[in-house]
């Protein structure tokens, strides 16, 4: 199977694994739940980093904005995943979190988290693992982005979305998340026009279809395509004429 477009985020189960019943009751007493309707910001880049979040229900996108206002989607958070964990190393939020749909978020304040980490060594060790895994996620993402073209990254993201949010239907695997071409462009770091062109080529190649506002992919064909591209990239000569993006896209035209 092809590699994930992004490694899985740490879940609440990972964070709270192995803690005692006493610590579990303490954690529960310090948590609050907040509801965010679709499109509402949970926190904004530059806000004070004052709480740790666990998504209970819904979907949340984590985004970063360039100086020119260009949006990059860093991750789409699924239920039970942890986010906002950089509150101990960063005084300000380094990215923005927005509810993609109505979302219930479990919130632990910074002061409460510090209290828990000081009295629950198992939780403290799990939190260190969380930060280590997140660093590895960032490093792998940077490595993949620097060694693949946009159509390759798009195929990986579509496969990953189908694995995480897919529902099997007669035509293939329905990705049960409403994403625009702009959203996909922001996920892989390219333009909306490029994504639109590449999706058209994927459609002609039989890798995906549209069903209303959702995508339906053929996972086996998409996996085969990604695998063949992985092998081809591994054997590419270091020649500008061969490895330029224009020449790569000619092959896929």
What integer pLDDT is reported at residue 138 of this predicted model?
61
Q: Do 126 and 17 form a contact (C-beta atoms < 8 A)?
A: yes
- 241 pLDDT tier (thresholds 50, 70, 90): very low
Q: Which of 21-30, 68-77, 118-127 has the lowest mean pLDDT?
A: 68-77
Contact 83, 53 (CB under 8 A): yes
Per DSSP, 78 falls in state: P
CA separation, residue 112 to residues 18, 38, 233 (Å): 19, 28, 48
CATH 2.60.120.10 residue window(s) in the chain: 12-145
Given this model, what pLDDT does residue 145 score? 54
Residue of 111 and 253 predicted with greater confidence: 111
Predicted confidence band at 50 (pLDDT cuts at 50, 70, 90)? very high
- Distance (Å) of CA 150 to CA 41, 42, 141, 199, 220: 28, 30, 13, 11, 20
Residue predicted with more confidence, 133 or 96: 96
Instruction: Please identify, in words, the CATH class of the domain defined by 12-145.
Output: mainly beta
Closest CA to 5 of 118, 164, 111: 164
Torsion of CA 36, 38, 43, 44, to 10 degrees: -160
Query: Above pLDDT 70, what percent of the chain?
Result: 82
Quick one: pLDDT at residue 215?
Answer: 92
**pLDDT mean over 57-84:** 87
For residue 59, the SS3 value is coil
Predicted confidence at residue 54, as pLDDT, reads 93
Q: What are the backbone dihedrals phi and psi of residue 211, each rounded to the nearest 5 degrees, phi first?
A: -130, 105
Q: Where are the beta strands (DSSP E) in the chain?
A: 31-36, 41-43, 51-57, 60-65, 71-77, 82-83, 96-99, 103-109, 166-169, 172-175, 208-211, 214-217
pLDDT at position 247 over 70? no
Residue 149 is given by DSSP the state: -
Class of domain 148-252: mainly alpha
Instruction: Please say if the pLDDT value at position 232 is more than 80.
Output: no
Percent of the chain with pLDDT over 90: 33
- The pTM of the whole model exceeds 0.75: no
Residues 6+ apart with CB under 8 A from 230: 2, 3
């Amino acid at each position: 199977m092809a590699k994930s477009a992004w490694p899985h985020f740490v879940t609440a189960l990972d964070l709270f694994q192995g803690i005692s019943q006493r610590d579990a009751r303490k954690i529960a007493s310090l948590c609050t739940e907040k509801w965010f309707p679709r499109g509402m910001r949970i926190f904004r880049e530059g806000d004070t980093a004052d709480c740790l979040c666990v998504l209970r229900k819904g979907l949340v996108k984590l985004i970063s904005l360039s100086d020119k206002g260009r949006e990059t989607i860093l991750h789409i958070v699924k239920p039970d995943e942890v986010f906002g964990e950089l509150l101990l190393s960063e005084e300000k939020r380094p990215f923005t979190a927005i509810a993609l749909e109505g979302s219930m978020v479990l919130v632990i304040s910074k002061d409460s988290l510090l209290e828990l980490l000081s009295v629950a060594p198992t939780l403290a060790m799990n939190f260190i693992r969380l930060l280590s895994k997140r660093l590895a996620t960032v490093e792998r993402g940077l490595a993949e982005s620097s060694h693949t073209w946009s159509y390759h990254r798009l195929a990986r993201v579509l496969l990953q979305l189908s694995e995480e949010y897919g529902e099997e239907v007669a035509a293939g695997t329905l990705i049960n998340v409403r994403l625009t071409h702009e959203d996909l462009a922001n996920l892989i770091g390219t333009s909306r026009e490029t994504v639109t062109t590449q999706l058209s080529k994927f459609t002609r190649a039989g890798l995906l279809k549209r069903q209303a506002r959702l995508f339906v992919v053929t996972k086996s064909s998409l996996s085969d395509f990604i695998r063949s591209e992985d092998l081809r990239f591994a054997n590419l000569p270091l020649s500008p004429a061969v490895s330029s993006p224009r020449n790569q896209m000619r092959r896929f035209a």
